[in-house]
Structures are given as C-alpha cells and as structure tokens.
Amino acid sequence: MSEMKNERVGHPQWKKATLWASAVVLVLVLGMALLVIFTPKKDDNAPVAGSPVPSTEAASTPPAQDGCNVPVGDTSSTPKMPDDLRWEAKDGWTWPVSDTYGPTQREGEFGVCFARSPLGAALMAVTLNTASNTLDYKQALKLYLADSPGKNYALAQAEGENAQPISYSGFIVDSFTPDNAQVTLVFSTPDTSTRFTGLPLSFRWIDGDWKQVILDDGSMFRGQPIEPQRGEFVEWKSSP
C-alpha cells in the first residue's frame, strides 16, 4: 500500500494522512500507494528482509485459532498458495483473498479472521491497506491496528485523499511465531531497479486475529523499504 503530500508521504500509501511509506522523496520516486505517517525511526533490531528466517518447524505448533476457527495451514517461510486464492476488485484496486485463510468473515464491510500463519498475516496486510483506501480510513485503522500510542497518533493525523491503486506482488516472511509475525509486503513499481519495492511490517496475534503493530511515532513500518528481486519473495499465485 505510496503517500504523497499530506495525503501520502511515502510509498504505497493508504488513504488519508501518511502511514506506510517513509518520506516525500520516496513517494515521488516510487509513486505507489501505501499510507505513511512521517519518516520512520531507525530500528536496529528490525529483521532484514532476505535474512535467514527462524525455522518454524522447530517452533511449537500454533494452537488452534479461537473465535474465527480458521485453519492454520503452512507456517513455513515459503508457504504455498491455497487453491482458493482469488482476487477481489473495488475502485480500481485488486487484492488477493482466500475463503479458507482470510478474510473468512466480515465485520460490516471489513474483512476479518485470518489464519494464524505467515500467509494469514500477509493476507491481512493487503486487506488492511486496501480497506484503508476503498472504505472508511479511520475505521480501518481502528479495526486493524493494535492499540498503542502510535495508533492514537495515526488516528489523530488521519487526513488526505485516497491513494492511487498499487499492484500487490507478494511477500517475504522475515520471522514468525504463533504470536508475532514480521512480513515484508512487496509491490510492483516501474520506479526501482528491480521493479519491486517492499515494506517490512509487524503483526501481533490479539483476541483471535492479527493486528498490525506500528511505531509510537505513527510509522507503519520498521527500518527502510527494500528493492527485492523476483525469486526473493513469495509471489501470489496468479495475477488479477
């Protein structure tokens, strides 16, 4: 999801304000569509995309998911795409969904209930970014973000226009446990040397579903955007 001006100051931006990119310069360079709230602080502990991912096979098996009853599925760093992966479309946006792994339920117009797995976290990420641009922006933040000072700040600063649609390409699983997931969401763009850009995002399992965790300054991602090459990320099974 590239924000420009106050409406998006970064890469793929969301809807109002600036929540997923990092700086106006990046916005002008990438011209994507993800929400960004100010330049993110440097996080020396943030996982680096492309670095070795802790083996999920050695980790304990995620407990059964409460509430939504979504099957966990593949918890490896390179999960296979489900047979029922498909693309939904609205207002020029297209994004991947799975009736099995998420979103499997609705809260009003918003998709909720995702698998407690890397794939579930990635599906939640595209759902959040798309909903913030095609539905009510503040409601999307209230629903999908974990409670924190950063969430309060993001809501207070939420202003701007809808971003231009972006093209979701895939994701990188930086790390995963049943309670926390670090996933880099990858978008296609003609403005980088690799034709792709990725934003490292953090998620926490709260009350039976994934919530995105943002920094206290309202930054939606940690560290710096990357320019992955094809083969370095898990691609969605098919194009819209």
Task: Tell me if 32 sits within 8 A of 46, measured CB to CB.
Answer: no
Task: Tell me if 218 sits within 8 A of 19, measured CB to CB.
Answer: yes
What does the block give as tokens for 225? Answer: 């955007």
Choose between 43 and 131: higher pLDDT.
131
Backbone angles phi, psi at 140, to 5 degrees: -65, -45
Return the pLDDT at 170: 98
Q: Return the amino acid letter for 164.
A: Q
pLDDT exceeds 70 at position 97: yes
Q: Return the amino acid letter for 99.
A: D
Return the pLDDT at 69: 83
Return the pLDDT at 66: 55
Return the pLDDT at 239: 58
pLDDT exceeds 90 at position 104: yes
b/e map of 171-185 (b: 16 or more CB within 10 Å)?
A: bbbbbbebeebbbbb
Of the listed ranges 32-36, 91-95, 206-210, 217-221, the one predicted with least confidence = 32-36
pLDDT, tens digit (0-9, with 9 covering 90-100), for 153-209: 999 987 756 788 999 999 999 999 999 999 999 999 998 999 999 999 999 999 999
**What is the secondary structure of 136-155 as a DSSP string?**
-HHHHHHHHBPSSHHHHHHH
Task: Tell me if 198 sits within 8 A of 228, measured CB to CB.
Answer: yes
pLDDT, tens digit (0-9, with 9 covering 90-100), for 115-151: 999 999 999 999 999 999 999 999 999 999 999 999 9
pLDDT exceeds 50 at position 33: no
Kindly report the number of other CB atoms within 10 A of residue 155's CB atom. Answer: 15
Return the pLDDT at 221: 87
pLDDT, tens digit (0-9, with 9 covering 90-100), for 48-94: 444 444 443 333 444 445 568 899 999 999 999 999 999 999 999 99
pLDDT exceeds 70 at position 228: yes
What does the block give as tokens for 124? Answer: 């939640």
| Cα–Cα distance, 213 to 32 (Å, whole number) | 22
Choose between 42 and 217: higher pLDDT.
217
Return the pLDDT at 68: 80
